[in-house]
Each structure stands twice: as C-alpha cells, then as structure tokens.
Structure 1
C-alpha cells in the first residue's frame, strides 16, 4: 500500500479510503442493502490487512449504526494511532428543529454523538456532508474551529458543493484565522466528470486533498450496461444520480469494458485507476460488500493506464447536469 499526505497536512493516509456506508444495520436508516455487524467486520479487518489505514463514515449512515460498527471493529483490529477515522455532519439525525444542518448547536451536539458511537476521544477528519444554505458559513466555520481546538477533531473537510461555495469557505476561514478545510469529498468518476471544470483546479491550486466518492458510479462502471445488483435495485439516490444520463453513459461504460478486456482485468480496476491518476486526487473512497472488491481496489493502484487507453475512456463523455449536492 502506498501512503500520501492528506492535502496540505502532515497526516499520512493510504491511497485508498474504505467507505463505510455499506456497513450498518439494515433495519436502521434508509439503506436496506447494508451489511450487519458480523459481516461488516470482515471487510474492515481485511482492509487493514491490505494496508488501508483510512476509514470514512458519517453520522447519518444507517442511523448512526455505521459509526458504531466501524468504531468497534477498529478498536478490535488496530491501535487508535494507526488508523485515520473520518466522519461527517449535516444530515437529519432526529425529527424536529436542530436535528440536522450545520448550526453551532447541531455541530457541537453531533460531534459528541459521533465520538460516543465511534468509541474514541477524537476523529482525525471531521467533514461537513453538504453545504447548509440556512446557516451562515461564518457560524459553521467558527464552530468547526472550536471542535478542532477542543481536541475533538484533528482536521476538517468538506463535501459536495459548488466551487464558489468552497472558495468562499476557504477565504472566510483565512480571514478570521479559523481552521481551514484540508479536504474535499466530491462526486467524481468516469460518467460524472463535472468536477474537472472548477472544483478540481481549485483544489490543486489550494493544495486541498480530494477524496472522490462513488468512483465506480455505485457499481455501474463495474458491470455490463443494464446489469443491476441488489443495492442498485433499491438505491433511490443512485437512480437520481445516474438514471437520467443512462443512454449517454452507456458508451463510456462500454469503453471501460473494452480496456478491461484488453488488459485482462476486472472493469473496476480500470475505472478506479482512471480516478486515482488525476493529480488532485488523494484517495478515492471505495465501498466493498464482496471480498474481491477490496482486492480489485488495491490492485487498481498498481495499474498505469496508457495515453491511448485514457483517450478511449474519456472521448465519449458528454456534459452532465451537476448532481450529488442534494
């Protein structure tokens, strides 16, 4: 496993981050396809064996049970100082006022709840899951700065917003001397490349670590067009992301198949190698619910695409509506 610095920080992270949205009790939250604890633990253990030290979850995943499962597994399989734990805040955690968002009240409540579920005194990376248009960014940034100064988070990250919003947040933090965002977790893969227009150049310029989510387009880049899975058949959010552009995306997915066949490797390795090669990308966030998926993800880091292969993978892309901020 290769390790790199997390954006402008001195923190070393594996070139792959294990996304833990798939690990949570199926009867809690909105995702019935998640793996219960006994099954989830095997993937976390195997990731550590493969050298992954970076684990990403969120308070909202499976109504908090993802954080609980991840926290217990990491305590059993690794020392706390050996792993990098990332979680997020923004989503609805309870009904009624102040049960979501990025107000000072919500952030201060949810960091403590996340630490309790994870069973740790601090998280390494605390991320805002989305932009909150109802809360002044100054309030959010100062609260996050106080979380860092209280020792409850080591670094801060953001996720899925417009480049102008991220630039505003960086400028505002600098203006007030507050802790700056070190990372951007955004929606980037072969069939959604809109981040190349503004966000990725901004991150390169500002030395922000980029952690793409859904680098395999929720599995669509790993199989024949039209093929499905249990998750895809019940994943309404995935449908919102990709169903409207399915016809345009088919040619890109076909190109992945062509390159994979020529190389004699699974499609997932090609699609992930393409994401990882971008100079702005620090660590793609990969999910795994089958053992071979972790092995493929690690193998993709060793795969070097040729210029001709990159051209074949990219030439059929058409501009898409920007999705993933919802």
Structure 2
C-alpha cells in the first residue's frame, strides 16, 4: 500500500482528511447502518494469521468500522472462525454487522434448501453467534428453482438466524426474477447486491445492474474494490508484479489505461492528502446506491489508509477526471 500522507484540513475544493467516525450509511431498505467501508475477511486465515487479523479488526473498529465481510468458503471457514473469536474476545458482537456468503463452501455447496440451511448452521457455529446480519447467495445456480432458494432463506429470516439477505454476482435479469418471485410468494426480498466494480472494471456493473439496483433500492457493496491491489498504486512496473505473490491478479491492469488511471489517482491523492487506495474507494462511494466497498487489509496501517476513504468528499472535477481516465 502507498504511505498515508499527512492529514489536511477540509477546504472549499472538497479536500478533507477522514474523521474518526464518519456517518454510517443505510444498507438498502434494511434497518442496518454501516460504516462506508466493509473490511474484507478473504485474507483472514489465508495470508493473515490470527494475531494480524485481530490487529486489523481492532484498527478497523477503532476508526468506527462495524461492517465485516466474509464467506463460508474463505480459507475453508477459518475466516469466519477468526472473526468469531475476535468478536467473542472483544464482546462486541452486537456492535458489528456481519455479512457472510454461502454457496461455495465445500461441505454445503450450492443454493438448494438443504445446502443453504446446512451452510448457515455451520457459519453460525464458526462465527460463534446466533444470527447473521446479511447473508449473501455466493453463486447463482439457475438449475435450482429460485422458489426453493427464497423459501429457504425466508425460513432462516423468520427463525431469526438471518436478518437480511442479498446476492453476489447475479445478473440484472436474475435480480428482477428474484424480486418478482419473492413478491409472488410473499417472502422477504433481497436488500443488497455485491458485484465486481472498481475504476478498472466498470462496464459490467454500470449498465443494467446499476439500473436494477436503483429500481429495487438495493445497497451496493462493490467487491474487488481495489482491483486486486492495482488501485493501491503498488503495481506500476512488471518488476512490481514479480515482487508480489499476488501480482499476477493485477497484471491485466498494467497497461496504458491502467497507468492513466494511476496518474489521476496520484494527483487527486496529493490534493486530498491521503493514499491512492483511499481515493479509489472514495470514487466508488461517490456513485449512486454504493453503500460500502469491500476491501481487505493485512495490517493496521493499511486499515488506516483504507478507512480514510469513508470521510472524503471528492470534488465534481476530481470525480470527472477519474471517470474520464477510466473509460
């Protein structure tokens, strides 16, 4: 990650350092109120051990963060275990909004009724909690009738094991289908959607998906918000890619367009007095219906950089520059 620059006082151009506790945002049509950045749990138990995970979550909570994103498939369930251990040790479960995904876990794969119920039961056990605030369907399997999936989720909501649910990587047409069927069945509709969306990956979301999300008033949580680390500014040459074990994931962005985006991010980051990564996240937060981008961190220092985005106000000119550079 790039080094966080010194904080600067807000001015008329909209430049500002992040306050310790920026305003929380409503998550779709739910009563959940979340910090404008979800801390991603995909690295917990994989590249980040228990001690580093606690450091990351402590730093996030100290900055006002309350939204943790994980999945039953992350590190084969170890991510959920680490998050659960942290909440138990800190006795802060009631203050946290926990979002997890089911559908890709090896023990309960798919979105049949039995798979969903089994996956949620296992996630609750690993998290050490009685309820999941936001449950995502991690896959879309059109071979399973939506009626079966929606009835299973509704049963979990009625039992109090799940509060709200959403979709991850569903198409616009499938979101429409789900809403129609939910209305016909009289079951709980989705409140959120999580899809691949960032400065380097815009087309997939900004068309029909964005329109449907707006129509259904879904809270949008962009995943891969930093384009596999590329939008943190740490990959600028082929040598940078080679030095990092995950550089291959960002290699596709190291081209003329990517360098153009980084150049604008550099300039805006200097104007705002924060890191490049914070500007990339703030750009997402300026978009309609985006509630909280999902970004992961492996150290407390990275958390400070990322959470700075939550309190930034980009100027129209800065947003326009980023829009043009990333087309």
Query: Do the two structures share a fold, i.e. TM-score over 0.5?
Result: yes
Deviations along 1:281-315, one digit per CA (max 9) or x if unpaired, are 11111211122221122221222222222222121
1:199 to 203, 209, 216: 209
In structure 1, the residue corresponding to 2:325 is in which secondary structure?
Answer: coil
Q: Assess, with a 3 A threshold, how the Cα gap between structure 1 residues 264 and 81 changes in structure 2: closer, same or farther.
A: closer
Distance in 2 (CA, whole Å) between partners of 1:131 and 1:169 is 11
1:225 aligns with 2:256: no
| Superposed displacement of residue 270, structure 1 | 1.1
1:156 aligns with 2:165: yes
Matched ranges for 1:53-202 at <5 A: 53-94=66-107, 99-194=108-203, 195-202=205-212
Deviations along 1:16-58, one digit per CA (max 9) or x if unpaired, are 211111111x3xxxxxxx2111221111112111111111110
Distance in 2 (CA, whole Å) between partners of 1:148 and 1:132 is 21
Residue 54 of structure 2 corresponds to 41
Residue 50 of structure 1 corresponds to 63
Q: CA RMSD in A?
A: 1.8
| Superposed displacement of residue 269, structure 1 | 1.5
Distance in 2 (CA, whole Å) between partners of 1:300 and 1:89 is 29
Distance in 2 (CA, whole Å) between partners of 1:191 and 1:178 is 37
Decide which moves more: 64-73 or 156-165.
156-165
Residue 29 of structure 1 corresponds to none
Greater length-normalized contact order (CA 8 Å, ≥ 6 residues apart): 2
Structure 1 segments unaligned to the other structure (5+ residues): 27-33, 319-326
Residue 29 of structure 2 corresponds to 8
Decide which moves more: 187-196 or 289-298.
289-298
Q: Assess, with a 3 A threshold, how the Cα gap between structure 1 residues 246 and 180 changes in structure 2: closer, same or farther.
A: farther
Distance in 2 (CA, whole Å) between partners of 1:231 and 1:21 is 16
TM-score of the aligned structures, taking structure 1 as reference length: 0.87
Residue 285 of structure 2 corresponds to 276
Distance in 2 (CA, whole Å) between partners of 1:299 and 1:264 is 10
In structure 1, the residue corresponding to 2:311 is in which secondary structure?
Answer: coil
| Superposed displacement of residue 184, structure 1 | 0.5
| Superposed displacement of residue 133, structure 1 | 2.4
Distance in 2 (CA, whole Å) between partners of 1:36 and 1:214 is 21
**1:273·1:301 contact (CA, 8 Å) conserved in 2?**
yes
Deviations along 1:232-286, one digit per CA (max 9) or x if unpaired, are 23x6xx35xx627845433223321232234443111111110111121111112
Distance in 2 (CA, whole Å) between partners of 1:282 and 1:143 is 26
Structure 2 segments unaligned to the other structure (5+ residues): 1-20
**Aligned positions, number:** 301
